Structure 1
């Protein structure tokens, strides 16, 4: 009967090394702990839902948009600074050109209006807001009136009971600022072409001082 004599130079630990030796140090080939591998697998599986949720195009979920919402919320706390705005043509035109306040209007639009008017105002269920053709607006202040009171037998709901008066003015300024972008949307032109918005006028108190 043949018998195998154990090799006295063979070490059982040799079966668990990679064969790499550096400066007399051997590299063991130990398997990764099971818990570590499952955490790794779970992190990979978590990536697609995370990307879809935060970067899939849904308004208000990206880091930039979350920051804008927080900034707008903070800006609303400053409403005492401007008092309660009236939805006049002069006021709406003024806030079309004030970036920080128009951003508040943008957030109101992104929060409440994109489902009907599109992310950039290009129109979806509701009409395109980026061309020169309007259904229920003839003058710039009519935008605030439509927002406050609704239109088209309720297809455009009234928002006067859900928005702060300042939010109505600021979102009106934002909507007015979309005019001229002429984005392509699913709906064709609806209504009639109206005159341009009034020009921004600088009051005496806002005019630069005369140093002469």
Structure 2
């Protein structure tokens, strides 16, 4: 029985906890067993089990009286021994508990092995013995109650009329499909027959009907939520939200990765980057190179001749680190890598613009390679 398993588990946990309590006790024991926490816990357990025994005894005795009156002359061993157990339990439990309560004061001992949680060995095992007797009594009551219930079930089944018709068990598959037995096909025949095949007016299976009803309810909720109340975005709105989010994520990613640009990874930017580079050029570079890049103190930036390389990587490196020996400062501390890339792209876009008053050619000729 499930209840028996519960009591077995309770018994194991109880004795485990008692051993842990006993090992963990420290300091001198109390002057009296009634003041010892372990003794108090054991006596509370004894009282609780005694209450359970009283309740079980009422139940088992009442059931036994009913069954004995019903089955005259069929007294079993369980019905004869129940009163004996009641008497033994009533005598042993209070007597042993009282004997424990009146035990002499516990004297201090030198070794922890001679006491359990501050209790003398004899007192401890006396209390545990009372609990064991009560548990055995409870198990026996439960066992006898189970036997009485089983005998009642067997008697009830035997008294049932043999002519009672047994209702056939319907399988779950038949319930889900609402199959009609072959004996009832005549009631649902539509009298349409072709080549020996008859047409029956079978109802749709319940699972199909319930699924159809759920679809109608779902459709109504969906229509109200997305097209009437607009409490949630429609498919088109979800797409637009996703596109906007993707664009924002892309911009954030580019902004994050752009800070890693250097002279090895720089590339020519688009019109937006070139426009930003023009603003930086007019602010920081026009004083030396002219407003249109025609040159001044610095070289002409619109022809095909370059003093320090004409690739965009070379231009980026020249702006970043400068040319101190020729009076050009390094801009890597005043401009971010993104701004340096924008300025480099703008300077490269000035090639071939031929502004007026352009300075003479300086450096080596550099031509952009043909795109593959």
TM-score (norm 1): 0.51
Q: Which residue in 2 is equivalent to 1:82? A: 255
Of 303, 307, 313 in structure 2, the residue corresponding to residue 131 of structure 1 is 303
Note if contact 2:263-2:314 (Cα within 8 Å) is conserved in structure 1.
no
Q: Which residue in 1 is equivalent to 2:271? A: 99
* Bigger radius of gyration: 2
Q: Which residue in 1 is equivalent to 2:335? A: 163
The reply on whether 1:195 has 2:367 as its aligned counterpart is yes
- Which moves more between the two structures, 84-93 or 169-178? 84-93
C-alpha change, 1:149 and 1:104, in structure 2 (3 Å) is same
The reply on whether 1:141 has 2:141 as its aligned counterpart is no
Q: Which residue in 2 is equivalent to 1:11? A: none
Note if contact 1:128-1:185 (Cα within 8 Å) is conserved in structure 2.
no
C-alpha change, 1:135 and 1:187, in structure 2 (3 Å) is same
The reply on whether 1:116 has 2:276 as its aligned counterpart is no
Residues 100-157 of structure 1: per-residue CA shift (max 9 Å, x gap): 1211111110110000000011111101100101111242200010001111515111
Note if contact 1:85-1:169 (Cα within 8 Å) is conserved in structure 2.
no
Q: Which residue in 1 is equivalent to 2:351? A: 179
Q: CA deviation at 1:165?
A: 1.1
Larger relative helix fraction:
2
Note if contact 2:273-2:345 (Cα within 8 Å) is conserved in structure 1.
no
Note if contact 2:286-2:292 (Cα within 8 Å) is conserved in structure 1.
yes
CA separation in 1, counterparts of 2:338 and 2:307?
24
**Cα root mean square deviation, aligned:** 2.4
Gaps of 5+ in 1: 1-77, 202-212
CA separation in 2, counterparts of 1:174 and 1:106?
6
Q: Name the count of aligned residue pairs.
A: 120
C-alpha change, 1:190 and 1:151, in structure 2 (3 Å) is same
Structure number with greater CO (CA < 8 Å, separation at least 6) is 1
CA separation in 2, counterparts of 1:131 and 1:185?
13
CA separation in 2, counterparts of 1:120 and 1:187?
11
CA separation in 2, counterparts of 1:148 and 1:197?
24
CA separation in 2, counterparts of 1:79 and 1:117?
34
TM-score (norm 2): 0.30
Q: CA deviation at 1:79?
A: 7.5
Residues 19-44 of structure 1: per-residue CA shift (max 9 Å, x gap): xxxxxxxxxxxxxxxxxxxxxxxxxx
Gaps of 5+ in 2: 1-250
